[in-house]
Amino acid sequence: MGAAVGVEDVGAVRVVTLDRPAVRNALDLPTATALAEALDGLDDDPGLAVGVLTGAGGHFCAGMDLKAFLATGQRPEVPGRGLGFTRRPPVKPLVAAVEGTALAGGFEIVLACDLVVAALDARLGLPEARLGLVAGAGGLLRLSARVPRAVAMRCALTGEPFSAQEAERWGLVNEVTPPGEALDRALALARQVAASAPGSLRASKELLDRRLAPSADDVARQDELLEALAASDDAREGARAFAEKRPPVWGRTP
């Protein structure tokens, strides 16, 4: 893997670490690509049963690297995979260990995991509307299928994050731990998962995921809206305002 993604196999558990702490593990295209490769390796290795995804430096992932987006025009999307794996998650179970921030694409990644352990002071949310974008890596589709409409709307329209306790209340987090202990608990949970039969794990995950899978029409409309927004002046302004640490000035249509 590249330096931005660490991989360590501990028995039947693959631990994948987003390792860009200077930018709160925000994703650029090389990082998203390395993440996809790490999880492909999880599926391809018969000795591995489950993955744990975490972030270095006290944060999970702050989403898309907006400075890299401004510099290159590239979104951190792997063809056919989304943000590393959000469009096509691994076949094997994946546990998120969340410390600090899991925002925007970082929260979309959490929503694409199967089990989530979060530290008490973690913050999770979709602030894309404040940046002139939309959570188009599956986050809005997954969120709307799992929480009441009013909760999803508040998250999407205000950009305000959830606390870990709120996320647990809505069923988005399995366990809340003291700060600094999310990874240890996620590893313990992953070892519990790894004790089950591999075929049973795959079949169970597939059947449960079928209940939440968005329709082809939903995905097509999501992609259409995302492409239009990503190419908009508001998206550029949102990224510039973030980089310059100032409030954005949006273009207003009649």
Residue 61 sits at the vertex; the CA angle it makes with 96 and 117, to the nearest 5 degrees, is 25
29 domain residue, yes or no: yes
State how many domains the chain has: 1
- Residue of 71, 69, 89, 72 whose CA lies nearest to 80: 89
Matching residue, tokens 């990874």? 183
104 domain residue, yes or no: yes
- Residue of 179, 170, 175 whose CA lies nearest to 190: 175
In the three-class reduction of DSSP (H, G, I as helix; E, B as strand; rest coil), residue 45 is classed as coil
CB–CB of 94/53 below 8 Å? yes
220 domain residue, yes or no: no
Q: Do the strands 94-98 and 115-119 form a parallel or antiparallel pair, or are they unpaired?
A: parallel
Distance of CA 79 to the CA centre of its chain: 16
Half-sphere exposure of 128 (CA within 13 A, CB side): 22
Q: 120-172: per-residue pLDDT in tens?
A: 999 999 999 888 888 888 889 999 999 999 999 999 999 999 999 999 999 99
Instruction: Compute the distance between CA of residue 139 and CA of residue 156 in angstroms, rounded to an integer.
Output: 10
Q: 170-193: per-residue pLDDT in tens?
A: 999 999 999 999 999 999 999 999
- Model confidence at 70, pLDDT cuts 50, 70, 90, reads confident
Distance of CA 150 to the CA centre of its chain: 21
74 domain residue, yes or no: yes
The structure tokens listed for 86 are: 């959000």
pLDDT at 253 over 70: no
Q: 11-51: per-residue pLDDT in tens?
A: 999 999 999 999 999 999 999 999 999 999 999 999 999 99
Residue 65 sits at the vertex; the CA angle it makes with 61 and 66, to the nearest 5 degrees, is 135
- The CATH number of whichever domain residue 169 belongs to comes to 3.90.226.10
Matching residue, tokens 């390395």? 34
196 domain residue, yes or no: no
Residue 160 is a catalytic residue: no
Q: Which among 108, 175, 237, 244 is annotated as catalytic?
A: 108
Chain mean pLDDT for the chain: 91
214 domain residue, yes or no: no
Q: Provide the residue range defining the domain that includes 170.
A: 5-179
The structure tokens listed for 246 are: 């100032």
Q: 200-223: per-residue pLDDT in tens?
A: 999 999 999 887 677 777 777 877
Q: What is the pLDDT of residue 252?
A: 62
- Can you name the residues that pair with 18 across neighbouring β-strands? 5, 55
Q: What is the pLDDT of residue 236?
A: 79
User: Residue 252 region, left (φ>0) first, then alpha (ψ -120 to 50), else beta?
Assistant: beta
Q: What is the pLDDT of residue 3?
A: 66
Least confident range from 89-98, 113-122, 132-141: namely 132-141
CB–CB of 38/2 below 8 Å? no
252 domain residue, yes or no: no
Residue 77 is a catalytic residue: no
DSSP character for 57? T
Q: Concatenated DSSP letters for 228-249?
A: HHHTSHHHHHHHHHHHHTS---
Q: What is the pTM of this model?
A: 0.87
186 domain residue, yes or no: no
Give Dmax (Cα) for the chain.
59
Q: Which among 8, 99, 128, 224 is annotated as catalytic?
A: 128
Matching residue, tokens 């096509």? 88
Q: What is the pLDDT of residue 254?
A: 37
